Amino acid sequence: MIKPAKLLVATNNPGKLREYVSLLDGLPFELTTLAKAGIADDVEETGSSMEQNAIQKASVYSALSGLITLADDSGLEVDALGGEPGPFSRRYAGDDVSDRERNDFLLTKLRSVPWEGRGARFRCVIAIATPEGRVETCEGVCEGVIALDSRGEGGFGYDPIFHLPELDKRMAELTLEEKNEISHRARAAQKARPILELLGK
């Protein structure tokens, strides 16, 4: 039996990795991680957009590993903040802060914004790079509202304050299966699947 090719999922975020294991299930690849590939290098996100950051990470890690590599950059865009924090979502409240501190920081910034002005979206850009230098990108978006407080134990990042009006739930209140039906990452991964299926042949 021919062993499937390896696909490097280039993230050190355990929550993101858990989602990708489910989202990429059934593809003709054996998923591997940065740790399993013996890569300790941290690619700094110096791009001014999620697309630039995703391409940068996928390209560098593919060159380092010699493997087809999937990397993403994702973030929260808040209308009342002119689209911030966007590609700076993880570092918005400063370096080395917890998800809770990050959420509290954002809620404080929106304290005087009424419900109807709290529209927001999660955006995810996936980049797939090959060792030969080919790169393709896919994007997924999930619309919602920034809630007035934190709720829910699931997910990670801004999930506890991201309200989904059509479900009347926070992203953090969804099961992994539910989240993988509607999230920005799920929608980007759905577009990435046919690209990966062709690369896996």
- What residues are annotated to the active site? 73
**Does residue 64 carry a pLDDT above 80?**
yes
Q: What are phi and psi of 51, to 5 degrees?
A: -60, -45
Confidence tier at 167 by pLDDT (50, 70, 90): very high
Residue range of the domain that includes 119: 5-199
78-109 pLDDT, tens digit each = 999 999 999 999 889 998 899 999 999 999 99
Confidence tier at 61 by pLDDT (50, 70, 90): very high
Q: Total structural domains in the chain?
A: 1
- Cα–Cα distance for residue pair 130/107, rounded to 1 Å: 40
Q: Could you give the dihedral angle defined by the CA atoms of residues 159, 163, 164 and 167, in that order, rounded to the nearest 10 degrees?
A: 100
| CATH number of the structural domain spanning residue 181 | 3.90.950.10
Output the CA–CA distances (angstroms, integers) from residue 90 to 50, 56, 103, 107, 148, in the order listed.
12, 17, 10, 15, 20
Residue 70 β-bridge partners: 9, 128
**CA-angle at 136, arms to 130 and 139, nearest 5°:** 135
pLDDT of 22: 93
